[in-house]
Structure 1
Amino acid sequence: MIPSLFIYLVLINILGYLFMRIDKKRAIKHQYRISERTLWTIAILFGALGLYIGMKTFRHKTKHATFKYGLPVLTLLELGIVLYGINV
């Protein structure tokens, strides 16, 4: 894998994880929240795994069907794309 691509994947997933953490803390404190649109944008930009791990770790957005089912599906799709890209 191209080193810069690997670095990008690591960083976008760390960002997704951190955004879930930040949004959970803001939800608890009844503060201004990170929009679902922003979270999905990160997920679509290959950060779905980080968001999914954050969702499970912080028990955040687990009642939202779009996150509960969508993030695992998107994670598998992105994983398949990355693995296919490595083998080509």
Structure 2
Amino acid sequence: MNRHIPILMCGILPLVALYQLCGQINWQFILGYGSLISLITFVAYWQDKRRAQKQLWRVPEKSLHIFELLGGWPAAYLAQQVFRHKTSKRSFLIVYWSIVGIYQILALEWITNWRISRWLGSLI
């Protein structure tokens, strides 16, 4: 089994949600923003890897996670694989995959018109 299938599967719900969002927000804006945050995230990982190799001041993990949270999580995965960086640090990966999970939940909620949240709210 290809080890990249899980991340590809994680892209489905957010892409469907983005497609629906394009009916409300200009798709050029979404594409531009996605490209920009992906580039910033990828470069931040590259810089961190390069600085680690040269034993220089590193990019804070908090910054990498902020870029992921802002939408750069797919680029972060790509950078992790390309640069073989941050792929074995368990505490970092827990936060990374939590961010990916948040995107899955938010996308599912958007697609279902927040039905799950409303249902959970009715239980309280």
- Provide the TM-score with structure 2 as the length reference: 0.58
Could you tell me how far apart the structure 2 residues matched to 1:80 and 1:56 are?
A: 24
Which of 30, 36, 39 pairs up with 2:55?
Answer: 30
RMSD across aligned positions (CA): 2.3
Number of residue-to-residue matches in the alignment: 88
Could you tell me how far apart the structure 2 residues matched to 1:32 and 1:73 are?
A: 26
- Write the letter of the residue equivalent to 1:20: Y
* Deviation >6 Å, runs of 4+: none
Matched, 1:19 2:37: no
Matched, 1:51 2:76: yes
User: Is the CA contact 1:19–1:39 (under 8 Å) kept in the aligned structure 2?
Assistant: yes
Which sections of structure 1, spanning at least 5 residues, go unmatched? none
Matched, 1:8 2:20: no
Please give the per-residue CA displacement for 1:65-84, whole angstroms capped at 9, x wherever unaligned: 24435435534653675687
Could you tell me how far apart the structure 2 residues matched to 1:46 and 1:27 are?
A: 24
Which sections of structure 2, spanning at least 5 residues, go unmatched? 1-21, 114-124
User: Is the CA contact 1:49–1:71 (under 8 Å) kept in the aligned structure 2?
Assistant: no
Q: Any idea what SS the aligned residue of 1:51 has?
A: helix
Could you tell me how far apart the structure 1 residues matched to 2:108 and 2:32 are?
A: 15
Percent sequence identity over aligned pairs: 25
